[in-house]
Amino acid sequence: MLYVSTRNTEEKVSASQAILKGLAENSGLYVPEQIPALDLPIEKLTDLTYQETAYEVMKLFFTDFTEEELKKCIENAYDEKFDTKEIAPLVKAQGSYYLELFHGSTIAFKDMALSILPHLLTTAAKKNQVKNEIVILTATSGDTGKAALAGFAGVEGTKIIVFYPKDGVSPIQKKQMVTQKGENTLVVGINGNFDQAQTGVKQMFSDQALAQELAAAGYQFSSANSINIGRLVPQIVYYVYAYAKMVKSEEIADGDHINVVVPTGNFGNILAAFYAKNMGLPIGKLICASNENKVLYDFFATGTYDRNREFILTSSPSMDILISSNLERLIYRIAGNDGEKNQKLMRELQEQGKYEITEAMREQLSGFYGNYADEAETAAVIREIYQEAGYIIDTHTAVAAAVYKKYQKETGDTTKTVIASTASPYKFTRSVMTAIDQKYQDKPDFDLVDELEALSGVTVPRAIEEIRTAEVRHKKICEVEEMQSVVKDFLLQ
């Protein structure tokens, strides 16, 4: 299995090389030349553990890893860091199936991929005789940062630098990042939004002069953002696992279709479901849920992707994104895997802030449905699900639940549906608790943690207990234009 760049199909690399590089030349993203078919029938998958399912999916994509190497990466990733043996349990509430992707060490879905990426990356480095130290350079809208830091902290032969929008993450997300231990870690707040942080990171990746300067000092960049194929492939696993578990529990019969709802910012999580569908998993509609930064909803409605709009800070900050990097992988595919055509559209996005796809391309998006939920709708659905089902969800999952209700109302579709529950409500206690009852709005964040425990009956996660009294270790703030000099100061001091 070889990987090509979405902007130049002549550029071909192995899986391990794609993982190592993170980003292709010309800022293209690596995609598999073809999406492989699942080679194990669902009836066999129903009896597999999460780890065994992960191997069956990943071996089809990461073909230059030996069985031993891949199984070792999986074993090291999905261990006691997760607070449940199932790794990704399904919880039924109000007739929907919530796929809880937040049982890892940082209580967000990013753990599902970022707990394995350091192992894939260090294995890939050995395979390719890389002598340089690998520098993970990443931008975060809240969750990727901490999950990447937790994955890479103390990993020999690596350093990790995380940029986050200083006013664009929740207090708990921020505390999780700035208290991170590890001599090889650096966390920096920027005076800007996530899209500016992501753009700054991408510019550093494509800066050849910077690459040469760092190589001379024994460093090379790689990415932990969802632009890295080593992030995307592990995300396919949980959709396959969820389907197999639904068959096993007789919620559906083998071959029945399910719909999947994903709260979406950078588009990687829903793209993983799209890849799962193309591998043969019986998925009907892929329901793309946006918050008030509804650039994806508008794209599915009009065929025009336009980031020229006000950037809104919402209670679901991990989705406060106007440039959905992973959408490029889908655009490349519906453009007929035409790197030149895709590059032209991405150039328009960079230069004019928008692009429009053709009618023929739009027709290929019929498997998607897009909608959005505003702040009031998000709060209302948290309150409703708590009152009716006694189940508490976070703000991002609530965006998905609210959009799913709109989809049902519009279509009358009664297909069994999995909703990707992307973060623990403990990560967004203030928004969650005030949605349930306004009386909580003036209480301190960590008092709300205890209130949430009392209401939900779910024990406070270790990730939250650890940061209650943790020392703030990362205090650096910089302007967007200073990002490169911050990186050089850290690496070349």
Q: Is 460 helix (H, G, I), strand (E, B) or coil?
A: coil
Predicted local confidence at residue 29, as pLDDT: 96
- Sign (positive/negative) of CA torsion 160, 423, 262, 114? positive
Confidence category of residue 263, pLDDT binned at 50, 70, 90: very high
Neighbours of 345 (CB within 10 A): 19
Predicted local confidence at residue 413, as pLDDT: 98
**Is residue 272 within 8 Å of 355, Cβ to Cβ?**
no
The pTM is what? Answer: 0.93
Say which residues have a Cβ less than 8 Å from residue 281's Cβ, sequence separation at least 6: 38, 239, 240, 243
Q: What is the mean pLDDT of the chain?
A: 95
Predicted local confidence at residue 293, as pLDDT: 97
Of the candidates 103, 107, 110, 108, the residue with the CA atom closest to the CA atom of residue 83:
103
For the stretch 155-166, pLDDT in tens is 888 999 999 999
CA angle 219, 222, 223 (to 5 degrees): 145
Predicted local confidence at residue 446, as pLDDT: 87
Find the radius of gyration of the CA atoms of the chain.
21
> What's the CA gap between 493 and 487, in Å, rounded?
10
Neighbours of 462 (CB within 10 A): 12
Confidence category of residue 400, pLDDT binned at 50, 70, 90: very high
For the stretch 444-481, pLDDT in tens is 888 999 999 999 999 999 999 999 889 999 999 999 99
493 pLDDT more than 80: no
Predicted local confidence at residue 144, as pLDDT: 86
Neighbours of 57 (CB within 10 A): 26
Of the candidates 80, 84, 149, the residue with the CA atom closest to the CA atom of residue 114:
149
The torsion of the CA quartet 342, 344, 350, 355, rounded to 10 degrees, works out to: -80
In this prediction, residues 21-42 reach a mean pLDDT of: 94
Residue 14: enclosing H or E segment and its boundaries? strand 8-14
> What's the CA gap between 262 and 400, in Å, rounded?
6
**Is residue 431 within 8 Å of 392, Cβ to Cβ?**
no
224 pLDDT more than 90: no
For the stretch 345-359, pLDDT in tens is 999 999 999 999 999
For the stretch 306-315, pLDDT in tens is 999 999 999 9
